[in-house]
Amino acid sequence: MPEPVAAATLDIPGRVRELFTYHFMVNALAAGTAVAVMAAIVGWFVVVRRQVFAGHTLSLVAFPGAAGAALAGLPAASGYYAACGLGAVALAPASRSGPSRGAETAAIGTVQAFALGCGFLFASLYHGLLGGVAALLFGSFVGIDDGQVLTLFAVAALAIALIGIAGRPLLFASLDPEGAAAAGVPVRALGAAFLLLLALAVAATAQITGALLVFTLLVTPAATAQALTSRPVAGMLVAVALALIVTWLGLAFAYFSPWPVGFWITSLSFGFFVLARVWRARRARSACGTSPTRRLMLPPGPPKRRRRRTREGGA
């Protein structure tokens, strides 16, 4: 049985070797790596396109998919992919990137509520070993087999390849939809295709973080990276690095502690996000000049002499 985190920190190299001793932890680290890289890259475009709410709805749709698959006697992963794909098709007509989102928000909220209701219905109807509703909602790193790892690597490779092919027109359509449409970019087709790609990433990420904590890897690293840099390539690289760090540390901390992996990954991601926002605020304050507190601490300068105006003419 692994020792608590406080004791595990005394022998870090030994504890790291222990993580690779058990096959289930090797599978968890491998699957987490594939999911982290894919979620960070796809999530960067989610934040740019302001489709965070759509991504959250797809993550909730994953819950009834997994519960329904268990009810039908199918693997939970198949339910994740099927439900998220159907959710993306349902959201595609109403989803658009841009400032006006009233109709989209209403449609997404409706799908979200219906998905949660179906999820709890399927979970209540299933009388076998579901693995716990908490595992479906908040994730678990136990029970990831070799086939699931290979599937996640294949899905991640496909998603990254599609982003590499359509990245430039997708970024153009995300930042300036009207200009992209005028330039001949298929904005609507790209939007629908990106929703399907987002559904793929959500279904894969939910198998590690759970349905409710998909944002941990899909949005938080990307939002943190965009707080640090506005360059697309640099931002995606920073997001990937942050997602890998929080995934690896979260899995290690969860192994050596009684607390779940979702808590650790979420807490680490949130901590990096807060640090990035504080750094950006301090940088913006310093760029605007000396702060008011600093100006009060500076010694007063010499008094300025007023020039006397001479009157022209007169006695």
Report the distance separating Cα 221 and Cα 46, nearest Å.
11
Report the distance separating Cα 209 and Cα 264, nearest Å.
10
Cα dihedral across residues 120, 51, 198, 137: positive or negative: negative
Q: Angle at the Cα of 149 (from 5 to 270), degrees rounded to 5?
A: 45
Mutual angle of helices 187-209 and 146-175, in 10-degree steps: 140
Report the distance separating Cα 91 and Cα 104, nearest Å.
8
Question: What does the pLDDT read at residue 268?
Answer: 94
Question: What does the pLDDT read at residue 15?
Answer: 80
Q: Angle at the Cα of 263 (from 261 to 269), degrees rounded to 5?
A: 100
Token pair 């109403």 in the structure block, residue: 94
Residues 5-212, CATH architecture:
Orthogonal Bundle (1.10)
Q: Note whether 207 and 247 are within 8 A (CB).
A: no
Report the distance separating Cα 131 and Cα 80, nearest Å.
15
What are the boundaries of each domain within the chain?
Answer: 5-212
Model confidence over 30-89: pLDDT tens digits?
A: 999 999 999 999 999 999 998 888 888 888 888 888 888 888 888 888 889 999 999 898
Question: What does the pLDDT read at residue 304?
Answer: 52
The pLDDT mean for the chain works out to 82
Listing DSSP states for 200-266 in one string gives HHHHHHHHHH-STTTHHHHTHHHHHHHHH---HHHHHHHHHHHHHHHHHHHHHHHHTSSS-HHHHHH
Q: 15-19, 58-62, 249-253: which has the minimum mean pLDDT?
A: 15-19
Higher pLDDT, 47 or 109: 47
Q: Note whether 47 and 246 are within 8 A (CB).
A: no
Report the distance separating Cα 14 and Cα 12, nearest Å.
5
Tell me which range, 23-27, 113-117, 127-131, 259-263, is most confidently predicted by mean pLDDT. Answer: 23-27
Q: For the chain, give percent helix, strand, coil, nearest 5.
A: 75, 0, 25
